[in-house]
């Protein structure tokens, strides 16, 4: 294939590989763009070349990416370079493209152009209704289990009746598949599609109506797909269909930065591209313009341990820069203190703004200790891709329970949590309750107490018996917690009672999605914060803990603009960003790589290694990696040992030190490379083992205290019988049916129970 070379010199102001990526516009092209290799500039120039030099109409070029922000940035840069209106450029996301095209061709699928796109809550409502028709309650089968199954089918590109290469992965005899078919019928009757159904709907349109596909193949003669490593099966099938006629398909990505398998992304789309397009041209952008030489060499040595890759050799003309710093700390607080003081010192000595620093962590819950340390030193920061720890919804929900316990007149807290987790108390019922409280000039909690004592007086508010029951149960829970607080029960026990007996923990666990798992981790970390506060302040109660948080999080806002802010984020959130000074924290076995990846096998470990590679290559000038010898996890101190990834870096590229706090002084002990080599040979990662779930720690604990069928007495509710029981020792939970048929669930260690 000949590449046109007589072009405007502005297109040649690139390195040789970038020039080839710009000029090779005919036929299938795969551009492997390494970290910091100038990918965006190359893509913008490629589109500009098609428009200006090849005189291709902007309506014949389709560029697809994954976020509106990325699409908007690319449109703006192309518009500025070429001088055309950005609105004429077909640069958009997969889902926006699918939605726009389906509205034009909706009749082919039996839809109208005004079809609705259902969000998560509407998805759940449909699935819940379907399960209800089968006599299945959400307690028996979570709607999220069915939604997860449907999303997997979407990622594979499946729609009812489809026959394709991925159908061998689908079990149509699975009972969930029956629910999927009913779900599809329900959406069709409602003239609706869900988010994932936009892609499969477009696949169905093209495969069932070849004449429609042919029209769009002729319109979009040049296709470009950015962040190709993040595509799933369905998206790959879509671009394969669109490009099959003219074969002018250019995919741009980096298999070494494929880190979203949990969202359905499939690295095989890059690895197997030439099987579908055997005539493709492979172009590698391997020169890094971002980082120092030592960082690039170390990151390359780590990522080359992966088997699932095409293979690139990253290099740079930048100076080597400093050695990578590895800091071994005693615990997570010592780690946070080190990072904070190091940032403070570097900003002062190097005379740089705080905005040049970034702190990465594997999971959101790790930010809490770091945020505490930064606030203590009055260093401004912002959490990117998330919110500050104490401002996260699930954390604020738990804090609202505590606020109500210590301040019964806090009706704002009451209103926030009366239906969290869902108890069937809707906005209308709450408004009636609030109106009555206003009339009686009392707080919502006092109103609830009045309800307990004078149930017959509430007929005029017309609350259903279900709502009344839910309010009474909530009031009783708050009363029990207040008794614990008044009795000086350990703060950690109070928190555990709130978390579990409110139903919040079980509610999140039942949803089984990535976001809910992250919320549970944050709630575990809040428990760690409470334990830490209690150990340091044994005489203080919930009120003091809440006061400390409020005072620590409400200061220094006026300093943010003048000093800039340190950026905090997960490594997933860091992709695509760069900072002069980067700190990667918590680089330990079972943390990074995560314990789930260790349990899942080598493919999962390779994705964790790619994630670590992404973290390393965000650093421009200096990279510091930290880990803790011991860390509080799931309520216990874990000694995980440092991550295997640290041993994959050549010892001549890093400087390893131990950091220990001694009062207000800090001491260091260097570890020589030979000492590290000796340690690494003796280390057996199986000795550390995965972090155990709570249930697996019960092997040596006592048998159940209240087995199923036991007759018991509860100090508040009277006599009853154990209907169901699970766990043992401190984790034992029971369901009791009391006289009158009332059923309640308790954690045994908190409940005032005795056998009859």
- Report yes or no: 530 and 543 within 8 Å, Cβ to Cβ: no
The Cβ of residue 440 has, within 10 Å, a number of other Cβ atoms equal to 11
Asked if 215 is an active-site residue, the reply is no
449 vs 70, 413, 474, 752, CA distance in Å? 54, 16, 11, 21
Catalytic residue among 39, 297, 497, 622: 39
Helix (H) or strand (E) holding 282: strand 281-285
Torsion of CA 489, 492, 495, 500, to 10 degrees: -100
Ramachandran area for residue 43 (φ above 0: left; ψ -120 to 50: alpha; else beta): alpha
Asked if 227 is an active-site residue, the reply is yes
Nearest C-alpha neighbor of 648 from the set 326, 253, 288, 309: 326
Asked if 41 is an active-site residue, the reply is no
Q: How far apart are the first and last CA of the chain?
A: 88
Distance of alpha carbon 756 from alpha carbon 754, whole angstroms: 7
Distance of alpha carbon 408 from alpha carbon 482, whole angstroms: 9
Distance of alpha carbon 299 from alpha carbon 293, whole angstroms: 10
Catalytic residue among 26, 40, 563, 721: 40
Whether residue 593 has a cis bond before it, omega within 30° of 0:
yes
Strands 29-33 and 381-383: unpaired
Please tell me what DSSP assigns to residue 457: G
Catalytic residue among 227, 332, 372, 501: 227
Catalytic residue among 18, 45, 200, 257: 257
- Token reading at 553: 């999080």
Asked if 39 is an active-site residue, the reply is yes
Catalytic residue among 182, 184, 226, 237: 226
- Report yes or no: 498 and 397 within 8 Å, Cβ to Cβ: no
Catalytic residue among 154, 284, 368, 618: 618
- Report yes or no: 295 and 324 within 8 Å, Cβ to Cβ: yes
The Cβ of residue 411 has, within 10 Å, a number of other Cβ atoms equal to 20
Distance of alpha carbon 583 from alpha carbon 569, whole angstroms: 11
Phi and psi, residue 607, nearest 5°: -70, -40
439 vs 425, 432, 435, 442, 456, CA distance in Å? 20, 11, 6, 8, 17
What b/e readout covers 376-385, taking b as 16+ CB neighbours within 10 angstroms? eeebbbbbee
- Report yes or no: 318 and 36 within 8 Å, Cβ to Cβ: no
State the angle between helix axes of 143-155 and 120-133 in degrees (0 to 180), rounded to the nearest 10: 120
- Report yes or no: 22 and 11 within 8 Å, Cβ to Cβ: yes
- Report yes or no: 571 and 614 within 8 Å, Cβ to Cβ: yes
SS (H, E, C) 60-106: HEEEEECCHHHHHHHHHHHHHHHCCCHHHCEEEEHHHHHHHHHHHCH
Asked if 226 is an active-site residue, the reply is yes
- Report yes or no: 58 and 88 within 8 Å, Cβ to Cβ: yes
DSSP 311-373: ----B-SS---SPEEEEEESSHHHHHHHHHHHHHHHHHHTT--GGGEEEEESSGGGHHHHHHH
Catalytically active residues are: 39-40, 226-227, 257, 618
């Amino acid at each position: 294939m000949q590449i046109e070379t007589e072009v405007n010199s502005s297109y040649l102001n690139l390195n040789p590989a970038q020039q080839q990526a710009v000029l090779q516009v005919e036929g299938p092209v795969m551009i492997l763009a390494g970290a910091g290799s100038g990918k965006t500039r190359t893509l913008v120039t490629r589109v500009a070349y098609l428009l200006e030099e090849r005189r291709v109409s902007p309506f014949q070029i389709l560029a697809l990416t994954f976020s509106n922000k990325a699409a908007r940035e690319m449109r703006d840069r192309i518009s500025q370079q070429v001088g055309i209106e950005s609105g004429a450029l077909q640069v958009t996301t997969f889902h926006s493209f699918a939605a726009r095209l389906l509205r034009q061709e909706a009749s082919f699928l039996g839809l109208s152009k005004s079809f609705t796109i259902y969000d998560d809550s509407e998805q759940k409502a449909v699935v819940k209704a379907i399960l209800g028709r089968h006599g299945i309650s959400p307690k028996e089968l979570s709607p999220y289990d069915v939604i997860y199954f449907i999303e997997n089918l979407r990622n594979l590109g499946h729609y009812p009746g489809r026959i394709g290469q991925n159908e061998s992965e689908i079990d149509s005899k699975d009972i969930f598949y029956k629910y999927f078919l009913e779900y599809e019928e329900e959406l069709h009757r409602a003239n609706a599609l869900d988010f994932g159904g936009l892609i499969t709907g477009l696949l169905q349109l093209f495969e069932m109506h070849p004449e429609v596909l042919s029209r769009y193949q002729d319109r979009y003669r040049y296709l470009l797909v950015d962040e190709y490593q993040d595509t799933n099966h369905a998206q790959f099938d879509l671009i394969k269909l669109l490009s099959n006629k003219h074969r002018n398909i250019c995919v741009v990505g980096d298999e070494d930065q494929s880190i979203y398998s949990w969202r359905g992304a499939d690295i095989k789309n890059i690895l197997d591209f030439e099987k579908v397009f055997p005539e493709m041209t492979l172009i590698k952008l391997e020169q890094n313009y971002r980082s120092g030489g030592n960082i690039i060499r170390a990151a390359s040595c780590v990522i080359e341990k992966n088997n699932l890759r095409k293979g690139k050799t990253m290099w740079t003309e930048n100076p080597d820069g400093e050695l990578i710093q590895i800091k071994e700390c005693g615990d997570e607080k010592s780690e946070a203190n080190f990072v904070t003081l190091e940032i403070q010192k570097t900003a002062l000595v190097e005379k740089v703004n705080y905005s040049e620093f970034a702190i990465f962590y594997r999971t959101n819950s790790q930010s809490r200790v770091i945020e505490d340390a930064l606030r203590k030193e009055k260093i401004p920061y912002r959490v990117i891709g998330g919110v500050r720890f104490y401002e996260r919804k699930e954390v604020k929900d738990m804090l609202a329970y505590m606020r109500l316990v210590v301040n019964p007149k806090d009706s704002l807290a009451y209103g926030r949590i009366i239906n969290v987790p869902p108890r069937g108390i809707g906005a209308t019922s709450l408004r009636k309750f609030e109106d009555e409280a206003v009339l009686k000039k009392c707080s919502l909690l006092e109103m609830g107490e009045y309800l307990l004592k004078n149930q017959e007086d509430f007929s005029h508010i017309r609350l259903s018996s279900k709502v009344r029951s839910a309010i009474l149960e909530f009031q009783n829970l708050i009363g029990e917690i207040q008794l614990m607080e008044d009795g000086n029960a350990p703060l950690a026990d109070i928190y555990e009672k709130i978390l579990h007996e409110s139903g919040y923990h079980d509610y999140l666990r039942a949803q089984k999605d990535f976001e809910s798992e992250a919320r549970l981790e944050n709630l575990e970390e809040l428990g760690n914060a409470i334990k830490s506060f209690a150990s340091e302040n044994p005489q203080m109660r919930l009120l003091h803990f809440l006061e400390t948080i409020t005072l620590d999080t409400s200061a220094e806002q006026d300093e943010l603009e003048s000093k800039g802010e340190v950026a905090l984020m997960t490594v997933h959130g860091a992709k695509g960003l760069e900072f002069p000074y980067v700190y990667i924290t918590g680089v330990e076995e079972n943390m990074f790589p995560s314990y789930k990846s260790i349990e899942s096998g080598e493919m999962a470990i390779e994705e964790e290694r790619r994630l670590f590679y992404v973290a390393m290559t965000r650093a421009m000038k200096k990279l510091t990696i930290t880990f803790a010898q011991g860390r509080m996890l799931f309520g216990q101190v874990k000694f995980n040992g440092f991550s295997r990834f640290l041993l994959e870096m050549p010892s001549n590229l890093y400087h390893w030190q131990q950091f220990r706090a001694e009062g207000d002084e800090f001491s260091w002990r260097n570890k020589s490379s030979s000492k590290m080599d000796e340690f690494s040979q003796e280390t057996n990662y199986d000795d550390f083992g995965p972090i155990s779930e709570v249930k697996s720690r019960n092997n040596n604990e006592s048998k159940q205290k209240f087995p199923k069928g036991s007759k018991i007495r509860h100090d508040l509710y009277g006599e009853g019988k154990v209907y169901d029981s699970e766990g043992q020792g401190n984790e034992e939970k029971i369901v009791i049916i009391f006289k009158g048929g009332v059923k309640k669930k308790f954690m045994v260690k908190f409940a005032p129970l005795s056998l009859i």
